Structure 1
Amino acid sequence: MEKIIVLGIGNQLMMDDGIGIYLVEQLAKRDHPENVEYLIGESDIDYCLQQIEDASFVIILDTVCTGLHPGDITLYPIEQLHEKQPLDLSPHNVHLFQSLYLQKDRIQGFLIGVEPHEIKFHIGLSAPINEIWRLLLEKVQSMIEDLIKNESAE
């Protein structure tokens, strides 16, 4: 059975920059297949890389700044982030995504990015993100389930 990692990255001290961590905390409490492990990587990219070394499929949850509306979700194949997306999409991605790109023949996966409302020093999510939190959580869970189902079918 292949190992699948859902990795939340971000910084909870910077409001909506912690979205990936908050999502992983909530999703880990829900039912999920045995081969799926939910991990919090925060902004320690070396720790993240160490944790995903023996995974074959990785789903990263993070804040992405694309200019869309707060709470909008975008999906990016990891192997395309390095080639086609600007590396300033997320403050955490340069080292992580470059490393994953170099391992693209061994590790497949996706970045699920959530557009923030506000990133500044403050613990907790912004009011606009809190207002849609349940819907956001359900959408991300559904996306993860679909990605895992499609990966398992291949």
Structure 2
Amino acid sequence: MTVKVTVLGIGNQLMMDDGIGIYIVNELMKEKYLDLCYIIGESDIDYCIEVIYQTKKLVIIDAMMSEKAPCEISVFPLEDLTYNNTQVFSTHNLHFLNVMKHYKKKVEGFLIGIETEQVDFHYGLSLRLENEFFKILDKVKKELRSILIEMEGWEE
């Protein structure tokens, strides 16, 4: 069965803010936000690859590291990140997006990146991301809604 739009949370909860994508997608699932298909991929690249074969459009939510302030949100079209050799500022050594380049199926979608404050061995988010979690969640919801409108002409 092919799913129309999948929201995929990736990261590692044992590495502090690297797990923010998982925490956000878990919350969206609990709320049944926009009634989409939500998947927790964690850092399991093989499982994440299976997901792209079962969806038409994909939104990835993940931690990122760049020059931006912690908790800031950035949105990138997947095509720019996977097929046009744009550098992804990911917290992972081998990122799912790098692996996607080598698979036959191109998938339309976006990456919502959440700027980290601290990535280190510890379960749970840094104090700053934990304190700002619901503000981050609201920003992600706003971006997700905009993405769906752009991809689907979606309306509530």
TM-score (norm 2): 0.87
Q: Residues 93-132 of structure 1 correspond to what in structure 2 (within 5 A)?
A: 94=94, 96-101=96-101, 106-132=106-132
How far off its partner does 1:146 sit? 1.6
Question: Aligned partner of 1:10: which letter?
Answer: G
Question: Does the 8 Å contact 1:10/1:42 carry over to 2?
Answer: yes
User: How many angstroms apart in 1 are the aligned matches of 2:19 and 2:144?
Assistant: 18
Question: Aligned to 1:76, what secondary structure does the other structure show?
Answer: strand
Q: Residues 5-154 of structure 1 correspond to what in structure 2 (within 5 A)?
A: 5-34=6-35, 36-82=36-82, 83-87=84-88, 89-92=89-92, 94=94, 96-101=96-101, 106-153=106-153
Match of 1:4?
Answer: 5
More off after superposition, 91-100 vs 53-62 = 91-100
What count of residue pairs does the alignment treat as equivalent?
152
CA deviations 1:50-78 (Å, max 9, x no partner) are: 02212111000101111210001111111
* CA shift in 2, pair 1:107/1:93, >3 Å: farther
CA deviations 1:34-59 (Å, max 9, x no partner) are: 4x211100000110010221211100
CA deviations 1:86-125 (Å, max 9, x no partner) are: 24x1144845213434568741011100110000011110
Question: Aligned to 1:41, what secondary structure does the other structure show?
Answer: strand
CA deviations 1:2-32 (Å, max 9, x no partner) are: 5111000000001000000000000111233
Question: Does the 8 Å contact 1:16/1:124 carry over to 2?
Answer: yes
Question: Aligned to 1:23, what secondary structure does the other structure show?
Answer: helix
Question: Aligned to 1:52, what secondary structure does the other structure show?
Answer: helix
Gapped regions of structure 1 (runs ≥ 5): none
Question: Aligned partner of 2:100: which letter?
Answer: L
Question: Does the 8 Å contact 1:57/1:109 carry over to 2?
Answer: yes
Instruction: Say what the alpha-carbon RMSD is for the aligned residues.
Output: 2.2
User: How many angstroms apart in 2 are the aligned matches of 1:153 and 1:108?
Assistant: 14
* CA shift in 2, pair 1:102/1:109, >3 Å: farther
Gapped regions of structure 2 (runs ≥ 5): none
